[in-house]
Amino acid sequence: MKLSLSSSPHQRVRRDTGQVMRMVIYAMIPGMIAQSFFFGWGMLIQSVIAVVSALVIEGVILYLRKRPIERTLTDYSAVLTGLLIAISIPPTLPWWMTVTGVFFAIAVAKQVYGGLGFNIFNPAMIAYVVLLISFPAAMSLWLPPATHAGITPTFFDSVSLIFTGFTTSGYDVTQLKTIADGVTMATPLDTLKTDLTQGVTYTESLSKPIFDGGFFEAAGAGWGIVSIVYLLGGLYLVKTRVISWHIPGGMLISVLICASLLHLINADYYASPLFHLFNGAVMVGAFFIATDPVSASTTPKGRVIFGAAIGFWIVIIRTFGGYPDAVAFAVIIMNMAVPLIDYYTRPRVYGKNVGKGRGKQQ
């Protein structure tokens, strides 16, 4: 029996940036497939537009900065940013808006700060917020899931919608949002937000068509299943140690606790914790966005605090703010707090205060 003697460290698994980015992308693929199944080809087309735009924009900026192009473009960070933008925006968003968002993500949120490893904000979330504030109407035009849609756009319809604004049959996005019985659809978060402002109770809102066939009767049709698939992809990343459990665990538990407290206070006005967990981008945010190693906290305790604070802001902004979903805003708010969190959660150096203690005793 041969024994191999070597010095520490003894951990053999070493992953470079490209490997980590690829594994994150692989974990996203099942969720992207589920999202495309319910919401059509548009998301996949947006993925191509966003990824190509991200690579081209980053390549041009690297050339202008006289930085190595091939090494940076092959680390898959731009690809991942493009995909995160694509799954966050409406599938029928005009192509030039997608490119605009990608430009802000790559050029402003990433390269202005020095490139990968130096950006203080999550680039994909900066892109989403810029688009949401600049084009609020377009960013709210989500098609109903295929199970509730009167007309499901084909691949060529989706291409035509994104590049011309109309399907091959002449329908625009607004017309496609109307199901067969004439009820205009919106996302579950949009629906609940609008209903609550009009005096409709939470229970009454759940009777709307968007919630028919929904997961646990609290997640919108299609949205709950998509969230579960992204959750499974995120658990794969935790199991393979691509990401740690601290941020997603802190974030999901925080959403659960905060939403439960509000729901207990007034169940007719405040949404249930299941509604918050399985609607919108909570699962994507917990495992694929908030865990960005560059813009997140770096200490174990800090990551838990970082994730928990994001969960808190998600529930607060969704409940009391003006926007139905709040993952992007919550992540950006806590990106700004990372230096403070790291400062107070950084492990103390052994013996650092020994000299000070002796001086006081003398």
Token pair of 147, please?
Answer: 């199970």
pLDDT over threshold 70, residue 346? yes
CA angle 243, 248, 253 (to 5 degrees): 155
Report CA 297 to chain centroid distance, whole Å: 17
Question: What's the whole-number mean pLDDT along residues 167-190?
Answer: 69
Q: Tell me if the bond preceding 9 is cis, omega within 30° of 0.
A: yes
Report the alpha-carbon distance of residue 95 to residue 162 in Å, rounded.
6
Stated pTM of the model:
0.89
Q: What is the pLDDT of residue 324?
A: 84
pLDDT over threshold 80, residue 147? no
**Complete DSSP assignment for 197-222:** HTT--HHHHTTSGGGTT-GGGTSPTT
Q: Under a CB-based contact definition with an 8 Å cutoff, are residues 226 and 277 in contact?
A: no
The number of beta carbons lying within 10 Å of the beta carbon of residue 185 is 23
Q: Under a CB-based contact definition with an 8 Å cutoff, are residues 125 and 325 in contact?
A: no
Question: What's the whole-number mean pLDDT along residues 32-60?
Answer: 95
Q: What is the pLDDT of residue 202?
A: 86
Residue 59, C-beta contacts closer than 8 angstroms, at least 6 positions apart: 69, 73
pLDDT over threshold 50, residue 11? no
Enumerate the domain spans of the chain.
186-344
Q: Which residue has the tokens 């099942």?
A: 30
pLDDT over threshold 50, residue 273? yes
Which residues, listed in sequence order, are joined to residue 178 by a DSSP beta bridge? 184
φ/ψ of residue 55, rounded to 5: -65, -45
pLDDT over threshold 90, residue 45? yes
Q: Whole-number mean pLDDT of the chain? A: 87
% the chain with pLDDT above 90: 60
Question: What's the whole-number mean pLDDT along residues 70-99?
Answer: 94
Token pair of 117, please?
Answer: 């490893």
Report the chain's terminal Cα–Cα distance, integer Å.
60
